[in-house]
């Protein structure tokens, strides 16, 4: 990490409400870091307008301009290196990443996924939770490793599934939790409470054995041994 304030790159594909929560937490001083840039793989992603309006450098690298996932990832590596990010935060970034990207930024990429991992990696998470009859749903912040949505989980936001929920209103309730847990994880990183060693996530220097949890307005820290 740099001796100065850590630098964060945020990757989005659309709305960017998680990006916005992260930017707001930085601006409010809750997170002691600078947003170095916001990158989208889609031109016209609404989140880019918010970033630009807040004087954050934005860049668009359209995956459709590249012949392969690897070529797209290599282009992102080159573009992002120019901003010297300490951490890369995937915030609704809807592309599968290859080792070209993951190895280049190993141990520095985090993702937010809208399920209580290891349940429901991939897409349509809320519909799958409803169909399974789950009584709770949520989102997870995890370290990104080679396998999709499978890196160690650091913190989860948990919400109750309510009678009559459909995927849309469940997603909206989970999104509220997402906006709490992603800034909290980044805050832990900036405070040195959370550190990464290879593929291990350490909380206060010890391996996380159970993710932290944000439920009913109460934050429970990760359990370690």
Catalytic (active-site) positions? 113
Contacts (Cβ under 8 Å, ≥6 apart) of 26: 8, 33, 34, 35
Minimum CB–partner distance for residue 113 and ligand GAR (Å): 5
* 144 vs 194 by CB, closer to ligand GAR: 144
Task: Pick the closer one to ligand GAR by CB: 86 or 178.
Answer: 178
> What whole-number distance in Å separates Cα of residue 124 and Cα of residue 117?
13
Q: How far is it, in rounded angstroms, from Cα 188 to Cα 198?
A: 18
Under 8 Å CB-to-CB from 215, ≥6 apart: which residues?
157, 158, 159
Residue (33 or 175) nearer to ligand GAR, CB: 175
Cβ partners under 8 Å of residue 194, min gap 6: 154, 185, 188, 201, 202, 203
Least distance (Å) between residue 14 CB and ligand GAR: 5
Q: How far is the CB of 153 from ligand GAR (least distance, A)?
A: 13
Close Cβ partners of 115 (under 8 Å, ≥ 6 residues apart): 121, 125, 126, 128, 129, 137, 138, 139, 140
Report the alpha-carbon distance of residue 2 to residue 9 in Å, rounded.
14
Residue with Cβ nearer ligand GAR (160 or 207)? 160
**Least distance from C-beta 51 to ligand GAR, angstroms?**
12
C-beta separation of 143 from 107 below 8 A:
yes
Which of 7/173 has CB closer to ligand GAR?
173
Element (H, E) at 48: helix 46-53
Q: At 171, which helix (H) or strand (E)?
A: helix 167-191
Residue nearest to ligand GAR (CB): 92
Q: Cβ of residue 16: shortest distance to ligand GAR, in angstroms?
A: 5
The residue ranges that bind ligand GAR (CB under 6 A) are 12, 14-18, 91-92, 112-114, 139, 175, 178
């Amino acid at each position: 990490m740099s001796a100065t304030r850590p630098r964060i790159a945020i990757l989005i594909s659309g709305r960017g409400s998680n990006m916005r929560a992260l930017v707001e937490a930085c601006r409010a001083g809750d997170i002691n870091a600078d947003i170095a840039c916001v990158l989208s793989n889609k031109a016209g992603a609404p989140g880019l307008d918010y970033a630009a309006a807040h004087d954050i450098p934005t860049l668009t690298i359209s995956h459709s301009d590249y012949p392969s996932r690897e070529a797209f990832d290599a282009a992102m590596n080159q573009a992002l290196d120019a901003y010297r990010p300490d951490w890369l935060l995937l915030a609704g970034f809807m592309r599968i990443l290859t080792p070209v990207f993951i190895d280049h930024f190993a141990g520095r990429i985090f993702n937010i996924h809208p399920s209580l991992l290891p349940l429901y990696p991939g897409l349509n998470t809320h519909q799958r939770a409803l169909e399974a009859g789950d009584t709770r749903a949520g989102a997870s912040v995890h370290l990104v490793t080679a396998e999709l949505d499978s890196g160690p989980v650091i913190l989860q936001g948990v919400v109750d599934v309510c009678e009559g929920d459909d995927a849309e209103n469940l997603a909206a309730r989970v999104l509220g939790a997402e906006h709490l847990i992603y800034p909290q994880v980044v805050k832990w990183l900036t405070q040195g409470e959370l550190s990464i060693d290879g593929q291990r996530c350490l909380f206060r220097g010890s391996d996380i054995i159970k993710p932290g949890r944000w439920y009913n307005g109460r934050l429970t820290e990760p359990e370690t041994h």
